[in-house]
Amino acid sequence: MPRPSWDEYFIKIAFDVAERSTCLRRKVGVILVKNKRILATGYNGAPSGLRHCEELGCLRAQKNVPSGQRHELCRGLHAEMNAFLQAAVHGVSTQDSMLYSTTYPCSLCSKMIINAGVKRVVEAGDYPDDLGHMHLTSTLIECSNLRHVRLSFWRWLGVEHPDYDKATIKVSIDGVDWPVIWRNPDEITDNQWVYQELDISDIVDNRSVVYLRWTMGPTDSGWTYCGWNIDDVRITGFEPVTLIGDVNGDCHVDIMDLAILLSNYGLTNATPIHGDLDGDGDVDLGDLSILLANYGRVCPEY
């Protein structure tokens, strides 16, 4: 038998922790890990000292509350909540820790995971059928001084054909509008971690507010797949280099810059992105002369 990886090792422990759960609907186990050492564990169930649902029955089942909705109609705490509370009671910092769970976190626990400083989540659960939309959204990302921005990450994705189930990646610069930058083109059944890199420069270059969102759903009531699993998310880009004549900021003074300048020729109250290279507020012969004098130059990194 091959030796288990660290992820496999800790997920197995999370399943052992779940056996302590007294929830009648789903037993969930969570462990918090840092530097390959377990910081805290948690499983879902009633608060300490109170009677369990095994004795009183399930309030949510009695009221026919669907999974993932009306969290306040539950006597228990989620496994993630109990793990964070255990760490807090014993004075253990969760900053830069990893969380292993037997299922996907709900929206409430996802927010706690972010504020607790967890840097990575590994979960073993599938997404439910008849799912609406479930999102994993990043905190605010600052890209105001970056150009040619790219998003890269490792994925382990399982999703049915888009006619039935949808997996998407979205980006927002205001938290309101969420244009889709990637969607599953077909059925995807990853059996290993797959590297993915996306060019998001058209949307986020030089933006001070950027959010990323991985979305699962909507799905149908057919087959069940594992959904999104993501790791090592990175945003990369170039800090701007001052290059005289580079109107569009691509680190080349070329025909594209000349085209922008000429299209704005004669414009007043102009800025450098319009072709005002001498800073006098007009796009005129002086700016054209500057551009032509620097035509063909490139930034050092090119």
Tell me how far apart the alpha carbons of residues 152 and 195 are, in angstroms, rounded to a whole number.
7
Nearest to 81, CA basis, from 10, 119, 33, 29: 29
User: What are the start-end ranges of the H helices in the chain?
Assistant: 6-18, 53-56, 59-62, 79-89, 107-115, 201-204, 255-263, 285-293
Contacts of 22 (CB under 8 A, 6+ apart): 45, 46, 52, 53, 54, 76
First to last CA, the chain: 50
b/e map of 147-183 (b: 16 or more CB within 10 Å)? bebebebebbbbbbeeeebbbbbbbbbeeeebeebee
Active-site pick, 8, 54, 72, 80: 80
Q: Which amino acid makes up residue 15?
A: F
Q: Which amino acid makes up residue 197?
A: E
Peptide bond into 66 cis (omega under 30): no
Q: Phi and psi at residue 129, in whole multiples of 5°?
A: -65, 165
Catalytic residue flag (residue 80): yes
Contacts of 3 (CB under 8 A, 6+ apart): none
Nearest to 244, CA basis, from 269, 194, 278: 278
Tell me how far apart the alpha carbons of residues 124 and 136 are, in angstroms, rounded to a whole number.
16
For the annotated catalytic residues, the residue numbers are: 80
